[in-house]
Amino acid sequence: MGEKNTRLFACVVQNRPGVLAHVAGLFAGRGFNIDSLTVGTTDDPRFSRMTIATHGDEQILEQIRKQVSKIVDVVHVYDMGEVDAVERDLVLVKVNAPPSRRAEIVGLVDLFRGKVVDVGQRELILELSGTEDKIEAFVELLRPHGIKELARTGRIAMARGPKPAGDKTVERKKDAKNGKP
């Protein structure tokens, strides 16, 4: 069996009800796992961008890419593993922060170029964006202080520079309903 790899697929999809369920159902129906999934509208409100983090050997990842590209409402699939890309994740962490420990915690936030976004009497809510490794390191350093709550967005990515030629983009000819790509 091949080596397991983690991969990000950025998909431009029609902004319609049920598209997210259809994509998630494809993964579930074939026994593939979604490690993280983020979705948001693009600069064109007709489309959303869905970033899917998953893992498997190269054969499984290629199968995932092909299966997702066959979904009618999927306009483009970008395999972010094949391009030079910028990746980010966002975390909000509520941590115990009695007055005696605040300076130490704020020092960690500053070191990681994060933000304190809320101050309570005995807790802080912290925000940090960065690579998955940076987020993991930050969270591990906060654990001894007592994490009360944690929420992450999941990974997003964007290729550097113009869209590369030969990036395995899958393009739909035209949407039968409105005649536009």
At 126-165, the pLDDT tens digits run 999 999 999 999 999 999 999 999 999 999 999 998 765 5
Q: Given 82, 114, 130, which residue is the final one in a domain?
A: 82
Domain assignment present for residue 173? The answer is no
Q: Does residue 50 contact residue 73 with C-beta atoms inside 8 Å?
A: no
Looking at 48, 82, 116, the residue that finishes a domain is 82
87 pLDDT band, cuts 50/70/90, is very high
Q: Which helix (H) or strand (E) holds 101?
A: none
Compute the half-sphere exposure of residue 67: CA atoms within 13 Å on the CB side of its CA.
17
Residues 104 and 151 in one domain: yes
Which structure tokens are listed for 16? 């319609």
76 and 93 housed in the same domain: no
In this structure, is residue 68 part of a structural domain? yes
**In the chain, how many domains are there?**
2
Q: Give the end of a domain, one of 82, 105, 133.
A: 82
Domain-located, residue 170: no
- Give the whole-angstrom CA distance, residue 90 versus residue 30: 29
Task: In whole angstroms, give the CA distance from residue 154 to residue 28.
Answer: 19
Question: Residue 18 sits in which domain range?
Answer: 5-82
The pLDDT, as a whole number, for residue 110 is 98
Q: Who has greater pLDDT, 164 or 90?
A: 90
